[in-house]
Amino acid sequence: MTFNKMGTVPLPLALHLAAYTVLGLFCFFAGALNLIDPVKIPHGVMFLAIAGFSWGYVFGILMARKEVVVLGFAASAAWLVAAAVGATRFGFDWRLTALLVALGGYGLITLALYRTRILEH
């Protein structure tokens, strides 16, 4: 995925990928801590799966895989759905809801803008 002669990633796309990297770091840390308590092992496995997904997604985008771009659209839409369901059904805090909406909305906009540039070689 080379965007110019230097092979750099544009800033909006880099911020999107950085958000998924940080999400993966947080979920990895939370998953590792949840594995300590035998009652919360399923939660830990879930967090580790999200961490693996987010890091795999970032790597797939950097490798310019078209399947991953479609997966990114689905993941961004899923964050928006999670924000809507979580806010109405579970009473999420407004800050968590805003974070999920920002993650999903920014992902949809960024992927829509850079989809063709990601896939060209």
Structural domain includes residue 64: yes
The total of structural domains in the chain comes to 1
Angstrom CA distances, 78 to 8, 11, 63, 101, stand at 28, 23, 23, 10
Structural domain includes residue 4: no
Per-position pLDDT tens, the chain of length 121: 545 455 678 999 999 999 999 999 999 999 999 999 999 999 999 999 999 999 999 999 988 888 999 999 999 999 999 889 888 887 888 888 888 899 999 999 999 999 988 887 5
57: closest CA among 22, 86, 87? Answer: 22
Q: Is the pTM higher than 0.95?
A: no
Structural domain includes residue 26: yes
Structural domain includes residue 5: no
Structural domain includes residue 3: no
Structural domain includes residue 94: yes
Structural domain includes residue 115: yes
Range of the domain at 66: 11-119
